[in-house]
C-alpha cells in the first residue's frame, strides 16, 4: 500500500460511513421539499419546489400545535438536564475525590445500574405515578430520568483527572467541599458537562417510549409524540408534511450538536469514553 493510500484510505472509509449515516436525514429533507406526486421518486438529487415546500411546512406547522410540542420538549429536556447535573455532579465528585468506606462498592453499583434498561422499570414507575395522580404532567415525563447513572459515571471519569494538589490547596484556603466541587472541579471539566448535555438533550428530545406511556393530553406532548399524533391526523398519507414536521423537530438537535461539537469531542476524550 502506497503512502498516498495509507494517508487517504481512512478518510475515505470515514466519509463513506458518514454518508450512510446522513442519508436518512438527506432523504427526509428532500421529501419535505417535494410535492405529493414526487414523494416516491427514487432520486437523491434535490428538486427544489418552493411552493410545494412552503405547503408542506405550512401543513406541518398548522394542522397540529407544532410550536406547543417544541415548547414542551424544551421544558422537559431542560428540566431533566438541570436535575441530572444537580444530582450527578456531587455524587461523581465524592466517588472521584473523596475517600470513604464502600466507595468502590458504590461505583460498582453505578456501573451495574448502567445495564438496567428503562423498559424494566416502566411498569413500577407507571403504577407509582398513577397512584399519586401525577400522570399527564410534565413531572411524569421527567421524574424517571432525574437520577442519571451515566452522568455520574461520565463526570466521575472526568473529575479523576483534576489535580489533587489544587483541591488540597483549596481546602487549606478554607474552601468547603461544596465550593470545590461546583466552583473548581466542575469548572475545570466543562467539556464533560457539554458532552453530557448533548447526550441528555438528544436522548430525551427524541424519546417516544416514556411520554407515550404517561401522557395522553395533546397539550403536553413532546415533539416525537406530537409527530405520532400528526401521523394519526394525516392517516400516514401526507409524507411531505410528515417529513417537514420531522425536519422541524430535528433541526434544534442538529444545531445543538454543531454549537457544542468541540466541547463534546473534548469531553468524550477527557472522560475516557469511546
Mind listing the pLDDT tens digit for each residue in 128-145?
999 999 999 999 999 999
**Which comes out higher in pLDDT, residue 130 or 41?**
130
Q: How confident is the model at residue 153 (pLDDT cuts 50, 70, 90)?
A: very high
Q: Which is more confidently placed, 250 or 263?
A: 250
* Pure H helices in 117-238: 118-131, 138-142, 149-159, 164-172, 177-179, 190-205, 209-214, 223-234
Report whether pLDDT(28) > 60: yes
CA distances for 180 relative to 39, 73, 98, 169, 257, angstroms: 57, 33, 12, 10, 29
Q: Whose CA is closest to 81, among 27, 35, 150?
A: 150
Query: If you average pLDDT over residues 219-244, what whole number do you get?
Result: 76
Task: Look at residue 231 in the predicted model and tell me its pLDDT.
Answer: 63
Question: pTM for this one?
Answer: 0.83
Q: What's the rounded mean pLDDT across residues 13-24?
A: 88
More confident residue, 180 or 34: 180
Q: What is the pLDDT of residue 112?
A: 92
pLDDT-derived band of residue 274, with 50, 70 and 90 as boundaries? very low
For residues 145 and 82, what is the distance between their CA atoms, to the nearest angstrom?
Answer: 11
Compute the distance between CA of residue 201 and CA of residue 185 in angstroms, rounded to an integer: 23
CA distance 38 to 16: 27
Q: What CATH number does domain 65-271 carry, 3.40.50.410, 3.30.565.10, 1.10.3720.10, 3.30.70.1450?
A: 1.10.3720.10
Supply the pLDDT for residue 236: 53
Q: How confident is the model over 160-195, as pLDDT tens digits?
A: 988 899 999 999 988 899 999 998 999 888 888 988
| Cβ-based burial of 40 (10 A; exposed 0-12, middle 13-18, buried ≥19) | exposed
Residue (of 258, 242, 201) closest to 27 by Cα position: 242
Amino acid at each position: 500500500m502506497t503512502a498516498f493510500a495509507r494517508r487517504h484510505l481512512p478518510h475515505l472509509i470515514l466519509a463513506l460511513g458518514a454518508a450512510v449515516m446522513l442519508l436518512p436525514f438527506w432523504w427526509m429533507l428532500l421529501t419535505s421539499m417535494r410535492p405529493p406526486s414526487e414523494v416516491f421518486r427514487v432520486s437523491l438529487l434535490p428538486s427544489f419546489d418552493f411552493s410545494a415546500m412552503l405547503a408542506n411546512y405550512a401543513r406541518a406547522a398548522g394542522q397540529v400545535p407544532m410550536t406547543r410540542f417544541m415548547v414542551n420538549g424544551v421544558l422537559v429536556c431542560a428540566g431533566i438536564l438541570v436535575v441530572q447535573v444537580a444530582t450527578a455532579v456531587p455524587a461523581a465528585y465524592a466517588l472521584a475525590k473523596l475517600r470513604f468506606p464502600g466507595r468502590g462498592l458504590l461505583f460498582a453499583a453505578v456501573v451495574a445500574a448502567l445495564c438496567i434498561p428503562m423498559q424494566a422499570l416502566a411498569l413500577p414507575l407507571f403504577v407509582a405515578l398513577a397512584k399519586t395522580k401525577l400522570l399527564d404532567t410534565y413531572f411524569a415525563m421527567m421524574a424517571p430520568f432525574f437520577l442519571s447513572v451515566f452522568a455520574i459515571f461520565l463526570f466521575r471519569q472526568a473529575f479523576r483527572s483534576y489535580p489533587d494538589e489544587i483541591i488540597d490547596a483549596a481546602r487549606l484556603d478554607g474552601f468547603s467541599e461544596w465550593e470545590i466541587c461546583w466552583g473548581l472541579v466542575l469548572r475545570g471539566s466543562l467539556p464533560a458537562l457539554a458532552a453530557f448535555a448533548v447526550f441528555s438533550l438528544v436522548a430525551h428530545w427524541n424519546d417516544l417510549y416514556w411520554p407515550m406511556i404517561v401522557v395522553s393530553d395533546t397539550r403536553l406532548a413532546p415533539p416525537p409524540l406530537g409527530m405520532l399524533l400528526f401521523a394519526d391526523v394525516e392517516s400516514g398519507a401526507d409524507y411531505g408534511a410528515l417529513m417537514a414536521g420531522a425536519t422541524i423537530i430535528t433541526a434544534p438537535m442538529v444545531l445543538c450538536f454543531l454549537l457544542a461539537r468541540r466541547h463534546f469531542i473534548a469531553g468524550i476524550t477527557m472522560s475516557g469514553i469511546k
